[in-house]
Amino acid sequence: MKSPILRFSNVGLAYRKRLSLFAKPDWVLKDISFDLFAGETLGVIGRNGAGKSSLLKLLAGIILPNTGKIHRPANTQSQLLSLGLGFNQNLSGIDNALMALVTQGSGIRQAKELIPTIAEFSGLGDKIKEPVGTFSSGQKARLGFAAAIHSTPDILLLDEILGVGDKEFKKKSGEALRKRVQSNQTVVLVSHSLQTLRDLCDRILWIENGVVKEIGDAQIVLNSYEAEAEAEAEAEAAPA
């Protein structure tokens, strides 16, 4: 049995709907426990509002849990593929790509060596030398994806992103991402596409009402999820 690269132990996450000491917390996640193993692709499913995106933010270390503990070996890095949400608008595309690589564990020398590859992959040409504030949203997505796909985190976190940009770049980015997912990279993937999850994932974590409803082999859990969805649809369609 492989040792876990990361472990959630009874993790809970709550938000306050109003800025008041007397406001009751809204528990998005409650008592979540699971292990993530090196080299696996773990899919996360659940209804809208089940807490999937919040789970990714916890995995990325963007937010901290209110209860429980996240066990993470020292120097383990997680990256949430966010497509440039943290770009500095005043810096060039090259400088932003360098910062993205360095913050995800690359040395400055290694990051500089990757810049020509990132520039070529993005297809931005000389535009990459200009301030990101002058980029269109599509150009920012291209740069963000190109930098992210060439970084080397221990855990890659994906939230419904399997290709971005125009038709040509979407095909290119989708193929690159699938290749990355199918390598020895440890991946956590949130998606509403059950077929994508069937194709790419080793295990599935099913979250319902903020708790783990089921976790295990991808095909088994997805079959259970589909069966429940079909049963609910039939019940709703049945005459009163």
Structure tokens at 145: 């994806």
- Model pTM score: 0.81
pLDDT under 70: residue ranges of the chain: 1-2, 17-23, 82-86, 160-166, 240
Q: Number of helices and strands (H, E) in the chain? A: 7, 9
Radius of gyration of the chain (CA): 20
Say which residue the tokens 């916890």 belong to: 58
State the virtual CA torsion across 72, 75, 76, 80 in degrees, nearest 10: 110
Q: Side-chain half-sphere of 135: how many Cα atoms within 13 Å?
A: 30
- Confidence (pLDDT) at 84: 52
For the purposes of burial, counting CB atoms within 10 Å of the CB of 132, is it exposed (0-12), middle (13-18) or buried (19 or more)? buried
Q: What are the structural domain ranges in the chain? A: 83-153
Phi-psi region of 114 (alpha: psi -120 to 50; beta: other; left: phi over 0): alpha
What's the pLDDT tens digit per position in 63-83?
A: 999 999 999 988 888 877 765
Spatial separation of the C-alpha atoms in residues 186 and 152, rounded to whole Å: 11
- Confidence (pLDDT) at 164: 60
- Confidence (pLDDT) at 169: 82
Structure tokens at 80: 């949430």
Which residue type, as a one-letter code, is found at position 157? L
- Confidence (pLDDT) at 79: 78
Spatial separation of the C-alpha atoms in residues 228 and 234, rounded to whole Å: 10
Run of H or E residues at 68: strand 67-71
Contacts of 123 by beta carbon, 8 Å cutoff, 6+ apart: 142, 169
Contact 217, 71 (CB under 8 A): no
Spatial separation of the C-alpha atoms in residues 12 and 33, rounded to whole Å: 10
